Structure 1
């Protein structure tokens, strides 16, 4: 099954009518030979003076100030744009992460307590007694991913060897099946490991075994908030593609069928009636993000009519 030209045009129209300028510039870059510089410039609008990312880059919390979690989102985009480690966006973000590392706890907390002062999804609420938000149930999210950015952009960090060793230890302790976001954080770490061959092999082996339990293969549940095959392997070069070939083809068909008549793909979650007016705005932003991501996977797997 292929995404028809009409459905492609509907998705494109939605992005340029409703998505954020960031997703519009990324669409231009990935599909229409647009300027990388234009995309980077849009990304920098979400970067604060302290180098961290905020300003609602992660639509589910409307926090203007920086947070490690929003900074990982910014670095995902920066890495995807193949920015070099000495690019100002990268160097500033890494300096921010260094500045907010909790030495005593040896961790980065996903979001600061100020998140409770702004509209946010319930899972981002900061628990003052525990000292972290509801998302942060394990060390992996966001720490494993952050260690990956140090592997990619700042291998001179004196604590990197210690952090990398801890990443392996924490992975060994995680309950199975691995949660969606724990898996994704470790997957991003895996793809940055150019040294530490033993650790790389361990993480690769552990995730290769876990992927079949983490990824939901039940098509009837793919409209729920579950880890779907394309989350683990958004393109054929992904390390888990060979493990999920059959399921990926099924999901590609599923995504083509589930596109809204208005061109977008819908997030599989809501804020459960909280901050309803703000959620309406966040929902549209997510539609733009998810639509761009879905189109990129469909293109990567040659499922769009114009991709001859």
Structure 2
């Protein structure tokens, strides 16, 4: 599996994913990963330039910035986190939340689902706050963002899979562990009650593409995830079997959402390939 994936990455991946694969699976150094991430950084402390493939423009965006901090932390380097927090504070609303897509992206190519908005977005704020907690950041904006996330999570009566997944990442790292555990249990009940997980029945969420489903491993990518108790051992095992079997003949995995411009297929597939390998390794499905 690793040999096939390595070949796939060398054939198709950006330098960032090549360096990341080397660090994660071949004992490669961390610094080249950090150097590759830095190429996407802007002077405002945020990140752009299609770090997250669906936003093609150069302007700093919250999702790119979250991704940069996450990848840096993955290799043990949090040098971008403080600047990211400053950038996010600068684009946040008074309630502490940040929009999903800033107006600075308006004149540049982006996926149809990257809709410019001013309103605070739970999905984006939960991702950003969660990764900064993971990186050990202390920042006045993070305190306000954390309060915003708690308020919104406590009020959730309905949601969609990507938003729930972002809340899981927030709950995984927020310091108040007792409150996080209780909130995760409530979200798990909501996911099961509303059918927001594909347990082999082809769950379909309104507004998502055909086949764009969330399976147990999308919520619980590691056994220590706060979402792992949502699923039985049998459900998790079947899902991991299906994930392993989804590897394509070229050695990589693919993704279920639309490739709205050709380059995104080539950029997304190495990313989801690495994520699939990490999940399978975390669950003991590969050495």
Secondary structure at the counterpart of residue 217 of structure 2: helix
Instruction: Considering Cα pairs closer than 8 Å and 6+ residues apart, tell me whether 1 or 2 has the greater RCO.
Output: 1
Shift of 1:282: 0.8
Other-structure match for 1:187: 168
Q: How does 1:263-274 map to 2 (within 5 A)?
A: 263-271=251-259
Find the aligned partners of 1:147 and 1:156 in 2 and give their Cα distance.
11
Q: How does 1:48-197 map to 2 (within 5 A)?
A: 48-84=42-78, 87=79, 89-103=80-94, 106-126=96-116, 131-132=117-118, 139-153=121-135, 156-176=138-158, 178-194=159-175, 196-197=176-177
Find the aligned partners of 1:263 and 1:197 in 2 and give their Cα distance.
39
Find the aligned partners of 2:141 and 2:285 in 1 and give their Cα distance.
44
Shift of 1:108: 1.1
Shift of 1:179: 1.2
Find the aligned partners of 2:83 and 2:137 in 1 and give their Cα distance.
16
Secondary structure at the counterpart of residue 187 of structure 1: helix
Two-structure CA RMSD over aligned residues (Å)? 2.4
Paired residue total: 279
Structure 1 gaps, min length 5: 1-6
Whether the 8 Å contact between 1:168 and 1:202 is mirrored in structure 2 is no
Shift of 1:162: 4.2
Find the aligned partners of 2:28 and 2:235 in 1 and give their Cα distance.
32
Q: How does 1:259-298 map to 2 (within 5 A)?
A: 259-271=247-259, 279-298=261-280
Find the aligned partners of 1:237 and 1:156 in 2 and give their Cα distance.
24
Cα deviation 1:44-103 (Å, max 9, x = unaligned)? 11111211011101111202110112111212222323334xx2x222212211222233
Whether the 8 Å contact between 1:27 and 1:292 is mirrored in structure 2 is yes
Structure 2 gaps, min length 5: 205-209
Find the aligned partners of 1:56 and 1:254 in 2 and give their Cα distance.
30
Shift of 1:256: 2.3
Other-structure match for 1:4: none
Secondary structure at the counterpart of residue 73 of structure 1: helix
Whether the 8 Å contact between 1:115 and 1:125 is mirrored in structure 2 is no
Secondary structure at the counterpart of residue 110 of structure 2: coil
1:233 matched to 2:227:
no
1:292 to 1:219, Cα distance in 2 relative to 1, 3 A:
farther
Cα deviation 1:236-259 (Å, max 9, x = unaligned)? 222222332322211222122222
TM-score using structure 1 length? 0.81
Shift of 1:114: 3.5
Shift of 1:192: 1.6
Shift of 1:144: 2.0
Find the aligned partners of 1:145 and 1:114 in 2 and give their Cα distance.
20
- Computing the radius of gyration over CA atoms, which structure comes out larger, 1 or 2? 1
